[in-house]
Chain A
């Protein structure tokens, strides 16, 4: 099988590392070779962060490059736009419909782009969700990233049971139930 490339992008502090841990557990459980690459340190302080996940028979490079991503998971709209050129032409992009103004926008030195989702839709299949609203309805806004992951899971080859079993092993014991609910919600969203 050809190596699969997944990217998770967002703003430092949004929980991209948890999502990549779940993906890592899933792919290794299925017997693949897998590499993940993360951002730590200064860049995490509210900056633009990106995580790469690659799995297949034999994976060399730990990063995904422009035009190679099969699935792009974006926790924030501007970050979706920043990395959309990493997607393959037939790749899928899942976008959490949230706007977090970067400092140049906050101080008026730049403008937050309008119609980001429409712009991305011109070239790609876009699946958008207001995951924070959905998560609040579940009772915990912090599980929004697992809802987004559930949508992305629709575009990957693993079964729902495989996903749920990894989530159970990865998240803190107290939050297993709500995270499973969050995943199912995303997985069933059409």
Chain B
């Protein structure tokens, strides 16, 4: 037997792509999918990139597939919305080289703005979806997906969830298969999706679905375990693990393919059990279809459409078991916060002081919405800060947004924010845009992007000049200011918000976690000078705490030496050490 290793779900997805002979991988980072690409770079046989957004990543993979090469795109669930345009039409075009998209959902919202279910998107796009339930299957299902893709001339989605992507399990390693590139044949009827051609392809998509409904009944990725037939459970993915834990005596149909559904297999299983349950996280995608075939089943009437499941939840719901546990203690929450030394804190402290509201965006700086900063009023999706501020202005007039700004990070600005800025210029907006440029994609763990000068594979490359880019789309006033130069920044913001033109302020300072070298400068409080006024605590730095005797102290294991606290102090009591 070959070697067994412990692998994160995302690491196993990457290994699966490698073993399947995948040659091109494109992605945009997003929790919980980021580590797929970060692991693919271990395999030199695969070209791998961070694209500026998910739409671009999907199109890169589609292009590679059309020319006959096995290609992968990976992203989080909301990223699939951005990539929906190429995906829906790639469904019509089909593939030449296998095309697989790994999409990671986030039940429980560990790091996302919504809890949407990728299976619903895939149904609309008429694309098959496979759903593994542990790391070993994560690898195997990706391999199966590539074969399926080529056999049925379709892109295939492999759906993950946070719990699968971020759990480790044992994986048996295999070798990379030697896949020859398919020859590219010029074929407008297949690859040029204009109305006349697309009509023909749509017919093929429908017959492909019909074929899959039948053929999938025999796919080895579906398994049936008959035990006591009083209870039968249809499930898939991570919920399968909870079902096995909670209902070891039940008969289980574990679906490896969840779109389209293997109808005969399901009907056969349903006919053999007394009470049928459908146990799936998020939306009742399987349940509603099964019920539409006239099969009686219990699902969301006893289980929730929100959050993650667990074995105890299933024990309670299915068996009515009372599980006696000690109650949780009612104690203070520990929400995520901006790190000590984070440059965003400096910008937000100024906005708070000036009583300016922010149309926010997606990234660490979304945390500016919570106490004690509380300056971010809205967060919608990647890039929406600039465009939604523009919408506010058009709704209420330019004077209405004189105490508003848009805040957006460097990565998010390049993702889709640039389009919004172009629109603001084109349609004569006057908003103020703060680009919080920390030289990285911070929240997802420091990925490079088009303005960092480095590719995913570690090569040096051209770095987009954000200032020039803003000027190129027509912004006349662009200021580049150090994020910790609070005086200059405050003055510039004050003038910008009342100006009758667009002003872009690029507040620059690297993410506090980016520089891994030891901290050389720290701050400490001179207790004799300190008046205990608490001004230094206003920015909400986690390294500063108030002792019970009223003394305010800076924790030397946490301070990153940004000096923002010293900047707040009116009594010269905070000094660098």
Residues of A within 8 A of B (CB): 11-13, 24-25, 28, 33-48, 59-63, 65-67, 78-79, 81-82, 84-85, 100-113, 119, 123, 132, 141
A36-B169, A107-B537 given; name 7 further pairs at CB < 8 Å: A37-B168, A46-B336, A59-B169, A60-B242, A81-B329, A106-B537, A119-B329
Q: How far is the CA of A108 from the CA of B534 in the complex (A)?
A: 11
From known contacts A46-B339, A47-B336, infer whether A40 and B31 are also in contact, taking CB-CB under 8 Å. yes
From known contacts A44-B336, A107-B372, A110-B332, infer whether A66 and B542 are also in contact, taking CB-CB under 8 Å. no
What's the least CB distance linking A147 to chain B, in Å? 15
What's the least CB distance linking A107 to chain B, in Å? 5
Pairwise interchain contact A12-B336, C-beta atoms closer than 8 A: yes
Pairwise interchain contact B334-A62, C-beta atoms closer than 8 A: no
From known contacts A65-B311, A109-B371, infer whether A45 and B540 are also in contact, taking CB-CB under 8 Å. no
6 contacts between A and B (CB under 8 A): A35-B168, A41-B443, A42-B110, A82-B334, A85-B325, A103-B370
Residues of A close to B335: CB separation below 8 A: 47, 102-104
From known contacts A65-B310, A79-B334, infer whether A45 and B134 are also in contact, taking CB-CB under 8 Å. no
Residues of B close to A63: CB separation below 8 A: 163, 310
Q: B1 near A: Cβ within 8 Å? A: no
Question: Taking each of B134, B328, B364, B443, which has the highest tally of chain A beta carbons within 10 Å of its own beta carbon?
Answer: B328
What's the least CB distance linking B240 to chain A, in Å? 8
Pairwise interchain contact B111-A24, C-beta atoms closer than 8 A: no
- Minimal Cβ-Cβ distance residue in A for B338: A45
Pairwise interchain contact B170-A37, C-beta atoms closer than 8 A: no
Residues of B close to A13: CB separation below 8 A: 339
Q: How far is the CA of A109 from the CA of B32 in the complex (A)?
A: 31
Pairwise interchain contact B339-A45, C-beta atoms closer than 8 A: yes
Residues of B close to A108: CB separation below 8 A: 546
Q: B446 near A: Cβ within 8 Å? A: no
Pairwise interchain contact A41-B444, C-beta atoms closer than 8 A: yes
Residues of A close to B245: CB separation below 8 A: 60-61
Residues of B close to A79: CB separation below 8 A: 334
Q: B182 near A: Cβ within 8 Å? A: no
Pairwise interchain contact A38-B167, C-beta atoms closer than 8 A: yes
What's the least CB distance linking B251 to chain A, in Å? 16
Q: B520 near A: Cβ within 8 Å? A: no
Pairwise interchain contact B325-A62, C-beta atoms closer than 8 A: no
Residues of A close to B327: CB separation below 8 A: 85
- A-contacting residues, B236-282, CB 8 Å: 238, 241-242, 244-245
Pairwise interchain contact A102-B332, C-beta atoms closer than 8 A: yes
Pairwise interchain contact B537-A61, C-beta atoms closer than 8 A: no
Q: B148 near A: Cβ within 8 Å? A: no
Listed from nearest, the 6 A-B pairs whose CB atoms lie closest are: A41-B31, A41-B111, A47-B336, A110-B332, A102-B334, A62-B167
Residues of B close to A84: CB separation below 8 A: 326, 329
From known contacts A43-B111, A47-B335, infer whether A35 and B134 are also in contact, taking CB-CB under 8 Å. yes
What's the least CB distance linking B212 to chain A, in Å? 29
Q: How far is the CA of A102 from the CA of B335 in the complex (A)?
A: 7
Pairwise interchain contact A61-B325, C-beta atoms closer than 8 A: no
Q: B530 near A: Cβ within 8 Å? A: no
Residues of A close to B367: CB separation below 8 A: 45
Pairwise interchain contact A36-B168, C-beta atoms closer than 8 A: yes
What's the least CB distance linking B271 to chain A, in Å? 27
- A-contacting residues, B279-313, CB 8 Å: 310-312
Residues of B close to A24: CB separation below 8 A: 6, 168
- Minimal Cβ-Cβ distance residue in B for A42: B111
From known contacts A60-B244, A61-B310, A82-B328, infer whether A47 and B337 are also in contact, taking CB-CB under 8 Å. yes
Pairwise interchain contact A78-B336, C-beta atoms closer than 8 A: no
What's the least CB distance linking A101 to chain B, in Å? 5
Residues of B close to A28: CB separation below 8 A: 4-6, 170
Q: B183 near A: Cβ within 8 Å? A: no
Residues of A close to B334: CB separation below 8 A: 11, 46-48, 78-79, 82, 102-103
Residues of B close to A59: CB separation below 8 A: 169
Q: B333 near A: Cβ within 8 Å? A: yes
Pairwise interchain contact A111-B336, C-beta atoms closer than 8 A: no
Q: How far is the CA of A42 from the CA of B242 in the complex (A)?
A: 25
Pairwise interchain contact A111-B332, C-beta atoms closer than 8 A: yes
Pairwise interchain contact B32-A34, C-beta atoms closer than 8 A: no
What's the least CB distance linking B538 to chain A, in Å? 9
Q: B472 near A: Cβ within 8 Å? A: no
From known contacts A60-B241, A60-B244, A82-B329, infer whether A35 and B336 are also in contact, taking CB-CB under 8 Å. no
Residues of B close to A101: CB separation below 8 A: 542, 545
Q: B544 near A: Cβ within 8 Å? A: yes
- Minimal Cβ-Cβ distance residue in A for B366: A42
What's the least CB distance linking A113 to chain B, in Å? 6
Q: How far is the CA of A39 from the CA of B334 in the complex (A)?
A: 14
- Minimal Cβ-Cβ distance residue in A for B545: A101
What's the least CB distance linking B558 to chain A, in Å? 8
Pairwise interchain contact A43-B326, C-beta atoms closer than 8 A: no
Q: B35 near A: Cβ within 8 Å? A: yes
- Minimal Cβ-Cβ distance residue in B for A113: B331
Q: How far is the CA of A108 from the CA of B544 in the complex (A)?
A: 13
- Minimal Cβ-Cβ distance residue in B for A83: B328
Residues of A close to B170: CB separation below 8 A: 28, 33-34
Residue from A33, A45, A66, A102 within 8 A of B323 (CB atoms): A66
Question: Taking each of A25, A28, A40, A101, which has the highest tally of chain B beta carbons within 10 Å of its own beta carbon?
Answer: A40
What's the least CB distance linking B368 to chain A, in Å? 12
